[in-house]
A and B are shown apart, each in its own frame.
Chain A
Amino acid sequence: MEMVLLLLLKSIVWIVVLLSIFAFLMLFERKFLGYFQLRLGPNRTGPWGLLQPVADAVKIIIKEDIIPREADRITYKLAPIASLFVALAAFASIPVGPPIELFGRTIELSIVNPNAGVLLLFATTSLGVYGITLGGWASQSKYSLLGALRSTAQMISYELSLGLSIIGVLILAGSLNLYDIVQAQERVWFVLLNPVGFLIFFISMFAETNRVPFDLPEAETELVSGYSTEYSGMRFGMFMIAEYINMITMSALAALLYLGGWNGPSFLPGIVWFALKVTLFIFIFIWVRATMPRLRYDRLMSFGWKVMLPVALANLVITAAAVSLF
């Protein structure tokens, strides 16, 4: 009973924190994009635009919910919810710090801690395709359908290299549990032992979250934001929340697998180190968005299959050979 209560409490805290991070992430992204382009970004609502998230939330909730006449109503309504759920389920297995002692009991800082944590994470993140595909298909709009198809093809292509790049880490750590993987990096971070794997993971991360330079599914200038063209109000908001939570999940995963998670010099607590590393990755997401142009679709696909996949396989073989030799 106590376990259930603890779990409920943790779930509520997690969702509230995650949604507030999402809200301020939107602000930081717009603010930093503004600075990159020598603009000020949002600055009318509160000091430094800090009340912008509140304004956005109110605006998106009171917007009319338009469902196109042609649309498949049930699928259309459920797709954004599915997208959001998958994003949340993926975050459930991310630990955000070392276990802490509170009121005489040890509390793990993740919703769940299964032995096969990495496997659960990959199973849930690959489901992310469904929300987008169904949303695009149910809209019965040409732009949405094209966006959804592009998104599916891109996500499955880069999921392969993402999955293969991680096997290097698994060989080095000898475990699928995220706590064990962080433990194994106490002396040296895996980014130093497996730099090629990190590079592949890093590139695939952008493709998996549909971010620039791999944002072809949304491509504002050609597909009028792709799979979410027909959506409005809170349902559109859910797609946005899902996208940003996926971004946070991927940044957290990169920090856990390659940058040593919460390991760091002891003058700061572990959870702060972890937050700093995740922030670094999120900043890079925004930085890349401000810097890189969008890829052409055929180049994106051939890069995924003809460069990323062979390099990921080669990296796997070399890591395995090196580990069995030494």
Chain B
Amino acid sequence: MLDQYTGVGVFLAVGALFVAVTLLAGKLLRPHNPYPEKLATYECGEIPVGEGQIKFHIRYYIFSLIFVVFDVETVFLYPWAVVFEEMGLFGFVVMMLFIGTLVEGLVYAWKKGALRWV
């Protein structure tokens, strides 16, 4: 008996075949004529200034940190939602406490200004 998840693998293998065929066809058909100006990084037609890996804002890290907390929460909620009706009031109360704790975390981050984009 075939496992359900191997199906995704088979599907992707067929997808890989498609990718290989188109890339190979392209390789045989397309021109190849590089010269220094063409290989330069695009910067509105000017010669690029400095390197491509510019510094970026620390904000991105803060948002991804808060994201990790809430994403894990979402994953915890999925199995709870499925057995919700069988668990009755107990399940409801317990999960409300869990969500309440996380809402408190969100409020804290909000008050601290972590959600402000400058």
**What residues of chain A have their CB less than 8 Å away from a CB belonging to chain B?**
3-4, 7-8, 11-12, 14-15, 19, 61-71, 81, 84-85, 88-89, 92-93, 111-115, 118-120, 124, 137, 139-146, 149, 152-153, 156-157, 159-160, 163-164, 167, 170-171, 174-176, 224, 229-230, 233-234, 237-238, 297-298, 301-302, 305-306, 309-310, 313, 316-317, 320-321, 323-324
Contacts and interface: CB of A to CB of B under 8 A. Distances in A.
12 contacts: A14-B11, A67-B39, A137-B53, A139-B52, A143-B42, A146-B56, A157-B63, A234-B23, A305-B66, A310-B106, A317-B99, A321-B92
Contact of B42 (A65, A92, A119, A230): A230
B81 to A, nearest CB: 4
A89 B4 contact: no
A35 B67 CA distance: 40
A224 to B, nearest CB: 7
A297 B13 CA distance: 38
Given A92-B11, A163-B71, A65 B99 contact: no
Contacts of B115: 301-302, 305-306
Given A62-B30, A89-B12, A141-B42, A7 B67 contact: no
A96 B30 CA distance: 37
Given A7-B2, A156-B63, A175-B82, A140 B30 contact: no
Interface of B: 1-2, 4-5, 7-8, 10-16, 18-19, 22-23, 25-27, 29-34, 36, 38-43, 48, 51-54, 56, 60, 63-64, 66-67, 70-71, 74, 77-78, 81-85, 88-89, 92, 95-96, 99, 103, 106, 110, 115-118
A234 B27 CA distance: 10
Given A85-B12, A111-B7, A141-B42, A316 B77 contact: yes
B60 to A, nearest CB: 5
Mostly, the A contact residues are helix
A102 B18 CA distance: 27
A56 to B, nearest CB: 13
Contact of B38 (A66, A224, A238): A66
Given A114-B4, A149-B56, A323 B85 contact: yes
B84 A85 contact: no
Mostly, the B contact residues are helix
B7 A81 contact: no
A309 B106 contact: yes
Nearest to B66: A305
B81 A167 contact: yes
- Chain A CB count within 10 A is highest, among B33, B78, B92, B116, for B78
A205 to B, nearest CB: 16
B26 A152 contact: no
A160 B64 contact: no
A192 to B, nearest CB: 19
Contacts of A229: 42
Given A153-B64, A156-B64, A65 B82 contact: no
Given A61-B25, A153-B63, A160-B74, 16 more contacts: A7-B7, A14-B11, A62-B30, A92-B12, A93-B8, A137-B53, A140-B53, A167-B74, A167-B78, A170-B82, A171-B84, A175-B82, A224-B42, A305-B115, A324-B84, A324-B88
B35 to A, nearest CB: 11
Closest 8 CB pairs of A and B: A140-B52, A112-B7, A170-B81, A298-B117, A163-B74, A11-B14, A114-B4, A69-B39
A112 B51 CA distance: 45
A124 B15 CA distance: 15
Contact of B60 (A67, A71, A115, A153): A153
